[in-house]
Structure formats: structure tokens, C-alpha cells
Structure 1
Amino acid sequence: MIDMDAATFEDLVVSELDLLPDDMVDGLDNVVFVVEARPEDGSLDLFGLYDGVAVTERDRYGVGELPDRIIVYREPHLHACADEAELRDEVHTTLVHEIAHYYGIDDDRLHELGWA
């Protein structure tokens, strides 16, 4: 388990997001990234969540839509990781996993690809 304050963790998430390939993030439209302490149920099992409608399932989407959200949960990450290198790897995996949901890739396919 790692001890890290919320601001430092958020900076780490931003730095990992900046390291993602351009072709992965350039297609994101109307998406915000949010860091929260824990999921609503208080569990430590969920590292991230995509809250929105995948681009593959949208029939109409336009001006005035609330942004989709990709949420990264701080406490589950800190609880699961032993050091900062492991934390960075896990945050990276979480970001890729949730961005994949935006693009319509489900958990089964992510497991096949090694991202879940």
C-alpha cells in the first residue's frame, strides 16, 4: 500500500495520460477525466469507470450533451500497489481500459488483449 495525497495522485494520473499514444486520445470527444477517492459503494476493487455511451452505440450525439466521464479511483490504486512504479503501471492500465470502453471495446475483448 502506498501513501499519497490526492493532489500528487492526480498529477500522476495526468502525467500517465500525457504518455498515452496520440492516436488513442485524439479521438476522444466530449470526455472529461476525473479522479475520485473511491467508488460510490466504498469498495477497493474498482480502479476506474467509464461513465458514458460508447461511440459504437451512439445514434445521435451532438451539441449540448453532457461529457462522458472517465473516473480513476485513487484509494483502490494506492491500496493495491506496493510502490510508485507499480502504481504508474496500474494507472496506465486503468486509463487504457476505460478509454477502450469509450471506443466500444468490452471487457471480454480487453481480457483477450491483456488490458483487463
Structure 2
Amino acid sequence: MTIEEFEKQVEEALKTIPSEFREKLKNIEIDVDDSVPKKTGSLLLGQYNGVPLSDRSATFEPLMPDKITLFKQALEMISKNAEELKKNIRDTVVHEIGHYFGFNEKDIRKRGF
């Protein structure tokens, strides 16, 4: 899948997020990194960097946008075909957005993120 096709799938994944959450997505950037991150342990598919909404005060004003990075090659490595890749992109986008809202791994699973 080309970077452009991958980014289109990211856009499609964002459309699947319930509107009550989607409307609260502010000052967040989603990047696609065409590499496999060097990390010990499990394969990293995506990563959220920022201050979760649940940790922000009423006066919090970020200087830089929060950032979600999706690792294209890692997602391709775990996907058997194009349909599975689309599902894995969606699942990863939704999962990382769960972290943006301050959900931990247990909350993410419970809420269907």
C-alpha cells in the first residue's frame, strides 16, 4: 500500500470514531512513519505523544499539537492482506485516540477502542 493509500485509510478510520469523541479531537496531528520502530518487546504499531485530555486543567493551552504516529511497515508486517491491513489501521488509530482521551489499556478494551 502506498503512503497516500495508507493515509486515506487513516482518514476513513477517523470517520468511524463516534461523534461524541470525534468532536473533542482538537490540536492533534496524525503522522505515518514508513518504518518499523526499534523497540524491545512487542512490535509497536502506533504511538501517542502528548498530554491526555484527562490530565489537562481548564487553563491548559498546549504549544504544540498532540501527535499520533502510525508505523506503516509494522502494520503491514502483521497484516495478511489488504483488508486485514485496513482493519489494523483502523484499530490502531482508534486505540491511540483512546490514549488521547486518557484511557488506559483496560479502558480502551472496555470501551471498544
TM-score w.r.t. structure 2 length?
Answer: 0.83
CA distance in structure 2 between the partners assigned to 1:111 and 1:18 by the alignment: 19
Q: Which runs of 5 or more residues in structure 1 are unaligned? A: none
Q: Which runs of 5 or more residues in structure 2 are unaligned? A: none
Residue identity over aligned pairs, in percent, reads 26
Residues 1:24 and 2:2 aligned together: no
2:60 corresponds to which letter in structure 1? Y
Residue-by-residue CA offset, 1:27-84 (whole Å, 9 max, x unaligned): 011111111113542778111111101011123422x610001111111111111112
CA distance in structure 2 between the partners assigned to 1:90 and 1:24 by the alignment: 20
8 Å CA contact 2:37, 2:71 repeated in 1? no
Where in structure 1 do 4 or more consecutive aligned residues deviate above 2 Å?
Answer: 18-21, 108-115
SS at structure 2 position matched to 1:38: coil
8 Å CA contact 2:14, 2:94 repeated in 1? no
Name the counterpart of 2:82: 84
TM-score w.r.t. structure 1 length?
Answer: 0.81
Change (3 A) 1:77 1:18: same
CA distance in structure 2 between the partners assigned to 1:19 and 1:96 by the alignment: 8
Taking only aligned residues, the RMSD between alpha carbons, in angstroms, comes to 2.2
CA distance in structure 2 between the partners assigned to 1:105 and 1:39 by the alignment: 25
CA distance in structure 2 between the partners assigned to 1:8 and 1:50 by the alignment: 22
